């Protein structure tokens, strides 16, 4: 058996999904907001309060502002229609409910059309720190505030379009790494320090602190080809975080043709999550202590 991982992460594995048969071809379901129980709203509150204390000074300004502007609070699981009403005015995005992980092509099709598929369910009280599939807390608390930002909004749409292309080219694993190390686990260099913009971090109490304060992980300047070559961990904290200088960098990334980069990356060897290269723009060289201790058991 796998050891129970200690972090609140979600397993966004490749070729995911599909143990249930969808009723609709796009896999959406009703949110059925009225059917959440008081216990489910209470789980939301616990997670929300915990992150509310941790994120100021650790999450980027755009995340905090996005959260402030949205109808997201401690008291109840947000209503997707209310979120969509505001989001659509800001950046043209909507939030739709799905049962959990959906197949890659279905996921990309939604993103390409500015629909963010959010897990309808919420984790159980005994799963506060770890779950296998993205739930409403990860998807709404983690992702939706950044969808209020025009650069991220365009970037995630481009990822959906690029995902369909990458599938045809047989390089989806490479593109998925870019999503992972930006949208999910990205850090941003603000004038006042390194800040979180990735949803996988922002929805995790322990990784919120680990990613910006611990001396264990590497923090390396984001570089497209470098990131495409780098494997990632789905069941524990990242060994390396990639840092962008500005959210507009993602916009530029959304506009370039990845095809020549895929070709170069195909020729190059994959890198392990903790590798550091001479050519890297190293911001902090991690001690590796956390993962070394885990490997030692
Ligand atoms: N489905 N609901 C959901 N959320 C995801 O983040 C997701 C998914 N299906 C596939 C997937 N992610 C990844 O495999 C792609 O980003 C590559
Ligand atoms: Fe996610």
- Indicate which CATH number applies to the domain containing 263: 1.10.800.10
CA distance 2 to 33: 34
CB contact at 8 A, 195 and 58: yes
Domain span at residue 125 reads: 33-296
> Given this model, what pLDDT does residue 19 score?
52
Residue 234: phi and psi, rounded to 5, are: -100, -10
1 lies in a domain?
Answer: no
pLDDT band at 22 (very low <50, low <70, confident <90, very high): confident
pLDDT tens across 76-122, in order?
999 999 999 999 999 999 999 999 999 999 999 999 999 999 999 99
pLDDT tens across 140-194, in order?
999 999 999 999 999 999 999 999 999 999 999 999 999 999 999 999 999 999 9
127 lies in a domain?
Answer: yes
17 lies in a domain?
Answer: no
287 lies in a domain?
Answer: yes
67 CA to middle of ligand 1, Å? 23
CA distance 214 to 285: 11
From the CA of 138, which ligand is nearest? 2
189: helix, coil or strand? strand
Task: Indicate whether 56 pLDDT > 50.
Answer: yes
Mean pLDDT over each residue of the chain, to the nearest integer: 93
195 lies in a domain?
Answer: yes
Q: Ligand 1 pocket check: which of 10, 31, 95, 102 to mutate, most ligand atoms within 8 Å of Cβ?
A: 102
Give the catalytic positions in this structure: 138, 143, 184, 203
pLDDT, average across residues 265-271: 96
pLDDT, average across residues 126-131: 89
CA distance 136 to 31: 10
Please provide the distance, in angstroms rounded to a whole number, between the alpha carbons at the two ends of the chain. 14
Structure tokens at 150: 């025009």
Domain count, the chain: 1
192 CA to middle of ligand 1, Å? 32
> Does the global pTM surpass 0.90?
yes
**Complex prediction ipTM:** 0.97
137 lies in a domain?
Answer: yes
Structure tokens at 115: 């629909």
pLDDT band at 297 (very low <50, low <70, confident <90, very high): confident
CA distance 41 to 45: 6
Q: Which atom of ligand 1 is nearest to the CA of 104?
A: 10
11 lies in a domain?
Answer: no
Task: Indicate whether 6 pLDDT > 50.
Answer: no
Nearest to 253 by CA among 172, 161, 118, 141: 161
Task: Indicate whether 64 pLDDT > 70.
Answer: yes
180 lies in a domain?
Answer: yes
Task: Indicate whether 132 pLDDT > 90.
Answer: no
């Amino acid at each position: 058996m796998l050891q129970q991982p200690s972090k609140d992460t979600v397993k966004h594995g490749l070729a995911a999904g599909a143990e249930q048969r969808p009723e609709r071809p796009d896999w959406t379901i009703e949110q059925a907001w009225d059917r959440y129980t008081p216990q489910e709203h209470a789980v939301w509150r616990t997670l929300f309060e915990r992150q509310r204390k941790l994120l100021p000074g650790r999450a980027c300004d755009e995340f905090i502002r996005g959260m402030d502007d949205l109808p997201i609070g401690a008291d109840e699981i947000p209503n997707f229609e209310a979120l969509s009403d505001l989001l659509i005015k800001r950046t043209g995005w909507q939030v739709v409910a799905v049962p959990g992980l959906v197949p890659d092509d279905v996921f990309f099709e939604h993103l390409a059309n500015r629909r963010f598929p959010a897990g309808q369910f919420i984790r159980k009280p005994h799963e506060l720190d770890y779950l296998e599939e993205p739930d409403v807390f990860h998807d709404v608390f983690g992702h939706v505030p950044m969808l209020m930002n025009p650069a991220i909004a365009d970037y995630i749409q481009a990822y959906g379009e690029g995902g369909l292309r990458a599938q045809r080219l047989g390089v989806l694993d490479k593109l998925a790494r870019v999503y992972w190390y930006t949208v999910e686990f990205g850090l941003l260099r603000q004038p006042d320090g390194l800040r979180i913009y990735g949803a996988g971090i922002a929805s995790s109490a322990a990784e919120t602190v680990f990613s910006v304060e611990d001396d264990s992980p590497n923090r390396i300047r984001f570089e497209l080809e470098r990131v495409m070559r780098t494997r990632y961990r789905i069941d524990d904290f990242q060994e390396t975080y990639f840092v962008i200088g500005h959210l507009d960098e993602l916009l530029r990334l959304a506009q370039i043709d990845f095809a020549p980069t895929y070709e170069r990356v195909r020729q190059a060897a994959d890198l392990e999550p903790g590798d550091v290269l001479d050519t890297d723009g190293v911001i902090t060289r991690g001690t590796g202590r956390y993962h070394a201790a885990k490997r030692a058991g």
